[in-house]
């Protein structure tokens, strides 16, 4: 979202992205808990206000930034409501995809057939819902790129592009043609190409920017450069 705002010319969206290593428990440190008492990433602290404003829950972070800077959330009531329909849809659905399907299919140390079947069925049902919606327009909430796309792409976009869980074939991702077309479309956006590598600690070294404190970090501080 912040890279998209900068790409849209909002210079005030310049930001610091600090790395919170959840595998090492950084999310339980007192400083982080002050910003998000629920100890989950992402969390935002807006220091342009006095006192700083804390924002947690990814959906609320997107809404906060969209309203603060006036981008990616339609102003007309119908467009705004449809965008929020899909933003809230993502917040309700993603735990089934990540915590359900992703966990039992990919991460769980024991493979439980019933759990895999249950969450595969649900993940495919959600992909079908999204596919039907994307048959109606270029983006999730219509012809305009919104915070609904920004929220949904990292989950369902990455699944159909084969970037997470190694499950694209298993889920028959190619059959969700509209989701795939949308996922590829969004993947080509310059802001998305930059944003997806921020705070990333896996994958190719040139696609890992552990911390981002200035736009120039994309040129100088990716892990391939830091480890030279
Ligand atoms: N509903 C939250 C979910 C955030 C969430 O689950 N974050 C995970 C990483 S994807 C996390 O921080 N896990 C750390 C932990 O559970 O200790 C949001 O949308 O912001």
pLDDT digits (tens, 9 = 90+) for 59-76: 999 999 999 999 999 999
The atom of ligand 1 lying closest to the CA of 43 is 20
Distance 78 CA to ligand 1 centre (A): 30
Q: Does 41 contact ligand 1 (Cβ within 6 A)?
A: yes
Scanning the structure block, which residue is given the tokens 């736009």?
A: 215
Distance CA 74, CA 62 (A): 13
At residue 99, the pLDDT reads: 96
The atom of ligand 1 lying closest to the CA of 98 is 10
At residue 228, the pLDDT reads: 85
Regions of the chain with pLDDT less than 50: none
Distance CA 116, CA 98 (A): 12
Q: Does 208 contact ligand 1 (Cβ within 6 A)?
A: no
């Amino acid at each position: 979202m912040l890279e998209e705002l900068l790409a849209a010319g909002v210079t005030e969206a310049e930001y610091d992205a600090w790395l919170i290593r959840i595998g090492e428990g950084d999310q339980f440190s007192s400083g982080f808990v002050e910003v998000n008492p629920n100890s989950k990433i992402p969390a935002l602290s807006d220091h342009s206000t006095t006192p700083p404003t804390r924002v947690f829950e990814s959906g609320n972070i997107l809404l906060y930034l969209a309203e603060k800077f006036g981008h990616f959330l339609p102003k007309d009531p119908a467009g705004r409501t449809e965008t929020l329909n899909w933003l809230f849809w993502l917040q309700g659905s993603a735990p089934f995809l990540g915590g359900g399907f992703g966990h039992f299919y990919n991460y769980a140390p024991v493979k439980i057939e019933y759990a895999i079947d249950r969450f595969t069925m649900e993940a495919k049902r959600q992909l079908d819902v999204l596919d039907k919606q994307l048959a109606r327009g270029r983006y999730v909430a219509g012809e305009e790129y919104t915070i609904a796309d920004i929220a949904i792409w990292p989950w369902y976009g990455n699944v159909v592009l084969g970037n997470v869980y190694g499950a694209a074939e298993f889920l028959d991702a190619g059959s969700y043609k509209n989701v795939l077309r949308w996922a590829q479309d969004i993947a080509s956006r310059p802001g998305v190409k930059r944003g997806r590598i921020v705070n990333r600690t896996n994958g190719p070294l040139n696609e890992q920017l552990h911390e981002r404190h200035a736009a120039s970090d994309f040129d100088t501080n990716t892990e391939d450069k830091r480890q030279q």
